[in-house]
Structure 1
C-alpha cells in the first residue's frame, strides 16, 4: 500500500493511493469516505451486496496518518482489506468511487507522510565507504552515529528547500536516503523482532548547508571547514548537523510504502539527480548498520512510537554539492529516488527576507502559526508533553576546558534530542544497559512562542526552571579504541536521550531575566555538589538567537544551558537499591528524580 498525508481545502487528511484502471491516474482515497461509498452502494437492492455489506472500520477511521499508525497491527490489517476491496471494486464495479472518496494526487498538496515527526533521526557514516581503505580507522564501533531533526525540517514533495536571506550560501549538499517509519510502539525490542515494528518505508532527501560554519568569526565562505579552535567534535557536529536541522532541509515522501510492497529493503537502487541529471547511483545493500540492529539498539534506552522516522544515511557519494549559482536558480530541482519506494522532487528557493510563518514551506511550522496556538500564555500552561523539541548546550561553562576538554568558543555548541527524554519530578527508569550515571543540576528555559530569526531571545522565554540531567555512561564504556572522533563524542549526547532522563522542575517567570548569580545545588544520598549559574558562558538569549537563526523554535520547546561542574557520579551499585537525586536553583525552586533500575520487558 502507498499511504499519503495531504491537504485538501486547507485540512490535513490522509489516504491510500489507487491507480485508475483505464487511465493509470493516481488517486488518493480517504478510507472513511471509501467505506461510506461502499455502504451506500451496498444499499442498492440490485447491487448484490445487501446481505454482505463490506465492513472495515465504519466511521472510526482516524483523522491523520500518524493517528492511524497508532492503531498498529489491527488498523493496518483493516486498511489492507479495504484497499484490496477498493482496487477490485473500481476495476470491476464502479470507478466513480475515486472522485467521490478521493482526489487526483496531482490536485492536492502532498505533505511529508509524517508531517510532524516526533522522532526524525538520521544516521551518518553508515556505509563501508566511510571507513574502507582509511589507515586512520583500523576498527569500526558498530553502533549508530546519528542526529535528531526538528519538525520544521520536514517538508513534503514540491515544497521548496528554502534558505533565508542567503543563509547557507555559498554551498549546500544533498543525498538520497532510505527511511523507515515505525508502525508499532516498543522498547527493549529484540533484534529478531525489530521488523515487526516497521510500518513501511519512505524517501528522505538529506540536505545540509553551511550557516553554522559561516557564523564562526573569520570563517564565512569557507564551506564545510572550520578553523583550528573549533575542531572539537561537539562544535563540528553543531556546524554539520545544525546545517541539517535547519527548516525545510529534510524533504520526505512522496508516500509511506508498506513493507509488503517493497520486499527486501537491502536490494533497492537509489538515485540522486539535479534537474533531471543523474549525480549519483547507489544501492541500499551498502548499509553498514541495518534496520533491525538500529531499531533494537535505539530501543535499548528509548521508546519508539508509531510515526517515528529513522533514515539510514547515504549509501553513495556523501554530500553532493550544489553551486551557489544553482542554489539561486529557481529552475533547480533536487530529485531523489529509491526503487519501489518512490521519487521525491523539491525546488530550491532563496528567501529575500524572513520566511512568513503562516505560509512556511514546513507544514509543522505553518500549522502552529495559523492555529491560534503559536504561544503559551503562562508558565502553568506548560508540561513536558507541550515540548516538541529539547535542545542541550555543551561545553557551556567556565570549567569546560579543564573538565571536558572543550575550549571556550564565541559560538555556542548545541544539539537536540527527542522530547521524550524530558520528565517531571518523580521516578526515572534506568535501562538495563546502563552502567554508572552522571547526574547534574542545570538551568533550563521553555520557549513561549514560535521563534524564527529571533533578535532578542528574552522575548521568547516563557519561564526558567531547574533541570536534573541524567547521563548514562554505558555509551562511552562501549567505545573500543582506537575510535573515530564521532564514536568518542556521541556518548555525551546519547547518554541523555533515554525516556525521562532530563527532569524539569516547575517554571518560574523572571521578568528581569536575572538568571545569573543564583546558587545551584545537587544532592544524591549523602553526597552534594554546588555551583553558581554565573558559570554559564552563553545564556538563553544567545542560544535562542543562535538556534532560531535557521531552526524555528516551537512553543513549549526546552533549552538547557547544559551541565556545569555541579555534577555527581552514581555507580550501578549505588542506585540498584534506589536513590533520590535532588536539585535546586536559588529563587527557581527544586526538582527531584527517584532513580532505580528498570525490569526489562519487551513492549
Structure 2
C-alpha cells in the first residue's frame, strides 16, 4: 500500500495512491465503515496511523476491497489535482547514515567506516514532492544525495538485527540535500545538512509488504534530465536490519522516525568539475517500487531584505 498526505483545496488528509489516483481515506471510512463490523477510526495524521497500524491496516484493506467492488463510488482524484505533501511532516527523529555506499566513499576520498556514520537532520528541512529546495544565502556549494529512507513502525530499543523488520513500517525516498561549504567548515555536519528545505521526502510511504526486499532496489537521481546517480541498494555497506539494530542500542526509535540509509556515487561534490545546485535546476529521484520524488531549486531571498547584500554576517 502506498500512503500519502495531501491537500485538497484547503483540507489536509491522508490517502492511498493507486497508479495516478489518490483515494481519500476519510471518504473510504465514511462510505464503507458500516460494512466492516470493525470498530476503528482512521486518524488524519500519518504518524498516528503508523502508531495504530496493526489495527488500521487490515481495516483499510477491507475498505479498499469494498471500494474496488463498488464501481459506483467516486472517492478518488487524479494526483495532479491535489498538492502532495511530505508523508510525515513532524517525525520525532530524522536519522541519516553517511558513507554507506563503497563507491561514494571512494569519490569523497574517505575510508569506508567500520561502523555506521550517524548524523541528524531536523523537521524544518522537510518538504514534499514538487516543493522547492531553497539555496541558503550563506552557501554556494549545495549538493544532492538520493537515498532510500526507512519509516519506523513500532518503538524499538535494544533490538537485534534479526528482529528489526518487525519494527519497520515501510519505506520512502529522501534527498539528503547538503551545503558542502557549511558542512566541512564546521567540522561537523548539522548546519550543512539541516537548512530549511534540505530534506525533500516522499511522495508516498510504501508499506514493507509491497516493497519486499529493500536491498534489491534500483536507485537513481537526475539533474535537469541527466542521470547523475545510478546504483542499487544491494550496494549498501551496512544493511537495513543492522542499521536499525545499531541505532536502537543508543536511542529509542519511535513510530514515524525516518532513517535515511545513505547515497551512492555521483554527487556533485565528487565530480570533476564539481556540480553545485543553482536556481532553475530540477532534481528527480527514482527508487524501484517506491516512486519518484521531484523538486525544483530556487534561491532564498528574504521578503524584507536580501541579507547577502549590505549586511554583516558572522560565520561560526
Check whether TM > 0.5: yes
Q: How does 1:548-587 map to 2 (within 5 A)?
A: none
Aligned with residue 28 of structure 2, among 34, 38, 41: 34
Aligned with residue 148 of structure 2, among 174, 178, 185: 178
Is it true that 1:17 corresponds to 2:11 in the alignment? Answer: no
CA shift, 1:80, in A, is 2.9
Report the TM-score when normalising by structure 2: 0.87
Partner of 1:393: none
The gaps in structure 2 that reach 5 residues or longer are none
Partner of 1:167: 138
Partner of 2:215: 266
Determine which structure has greater relative contact order: mean sequence separation of CA pairs < 8 Å that are 6+ residues apart, divided by chain length: 2
Q: 1:29 to 1:290 in 2, by over 3 A?
A: same
Q: CA deviation digits over 1:157-199, x for unaligned, max 9?
A: 01000124x4322x22102100000111121112111001111
Q: 1:323 to 1:294 in 2, by over 3 A?
A: closer
**What is the CA–CA distance in structure 2 between the aligned matches of 1:135 and 1:278, rounded to whole Å?**
22
Q: How does 1:519-538 map to 2 (within 5 A)?
A: none
Is the contact made by 1:177 and 1:312 (CA closer than 8 Å) also made in structure 2?
yes
Q: 1:37 to 1:119 in 2, by over 3 A?
A: same
Q: CA deviation digits over 1:400-435, x for unaligned, max 9?
A: xxxxxxxxxxxxxxxxxxxxxxxxxxxxxxxxxxxx
Partner of 1:66: 47
Q: CA deviation digits over 1:34-93, x for unaligned, max 9?
A: 132235xx8xxxxxxxxxx234455x211111111111322222223333443x32xxx3
Q: CA deviation digits over 1:516-558, x for unaligned, max 9?
A: xxxxxxxxxxxxxxxxxxxxxxxxxx9xx979xxxxxxxxxxx
SS in 1 for 2:188: helix
Partner of 2:95: 121
**What is the CA–CA distance in structure 1 between the aligned matches of 2:25 and 2:77, rounded to whole Å?**
12
Partner of 2:85: 111
Partner of 1:189: 159
**What is the CA–CA distance in structure 2 between the aligned matches of 1:133 and 1:159, rounded to whole Å?**
29
Aligned with residue 287 of structure 1, among 236, 241, 246: 236
**What is the CA–CA distance in structure 1 between the aligned matches of 2:252 and 2:222, rounded to whole Å?**
35
**What is the CA–CA distance in structure 1 between the aligned matches of 2:17 and 2:113, rounded to whole Å?**
42
Q: CA deviation digits over 1:347-399, x for unaligned, max 9?
A: 0011222599xxxxxxxxxxxxxxxxxxxxxxxxxxxxxxxxxxxxxxxxxxx
Partner of 1:529: none
Is it true that 1:94 corresponds to 2:66 in the alignment? Answer: no
Q: Which has the larger radius of gyration?
A: 1
Partner of 1:153: 125
SS in 2 for 1:66: helix
Report runs of 4+ in structure 1 exceeding 6 Å deviation: 132-136
CA RMSD of aligned residues (A): 3.0
Report the TM-score when normalising by structure 1: 0.47
**What is the CA–CA distance in structure 1 between the aligned matches of 2:179 and 2:96, rounded to whole Å?**
16
Q: How many pairs align?
A: 308
